[in-house]
Amino acid sequence: MNDKALLERWRELESTHAVVRDSLERALERRHQLSLSEYEVLRQLSAAPDGQLRMQELAEDVHLSQSALSRLVKRLEDEGLATRGMCDYDRRGVWACISDRGRAAQREAEPTHLAALSETLRDPTP
């Protein structure tokens, strides 16, 4: 692939990413009062064993800095969707844990998330 084609492909990927994120963000906020990042954290925690992940691991999974994730998890805590706890085998570690209310919110928002993905990423060819 030549440089021009490579740069064009990169531009297409960036554009697609922006359109999909915008669609997801609007749909989740409008229907569930969740940001896309909040939904992604709830989704990751729902899929995790015992509904919990170390904050450092979660930050990597959702592509947020640890400080941004800490603020996001604080918002989820304030809404009763998640909690934080100390790691019993590493005192430096902190767990993010999904609550029952958080699981319900994630399950309720999942069809909206999937519908927005389907709409924005559908294959234009029949």
One digit per residue, pLDDT tens: the chain, 126 residues? 899 999 999 999 999 999 999 999 999 999 999 999 999 999 999 999 889 999 999 999 999 999 999 999 999 999 999 999 865 555 667 899 999 999 999 999 999 999 999 999 886 554
Which pLDDT does position 40 carry in this prediction?
Answer: 97
Which pLDDT does position 60 carry in this prediction?
Answer: 94
Task: Measure the CA–CA gap between 35 and 123, rounded to whole angstroms.
Answer: 26
Which pLDDT does position 120 carry in this prediction?
Answer: 92
**pTM higher than 0.85, yes or no?**
yes
Cβ proximity of 86 and 95 under 8 Å: yes
Which pLDDT does position 122 carry in this prediction?
Answer: 84
Cβ proximity of 55 and 95 under 8 Å: yes
Which amino acid would we find at residue 17?
H
Which pLDDT does position 87 carry in this prediction?
Answer: 56
Q: In terms of C-beta density within 10 A (0-12 exposed, 13-18 middle, 19 or more buried), how is residue 52 classed?
A: middle
Which pLDDT does position 63 carry in this prediction?
Answer: 94
Residue-range domains of the chain with CATH: 3-121 (1.10.10.10)
Residue 37: Cβ within 10 Å count: 17
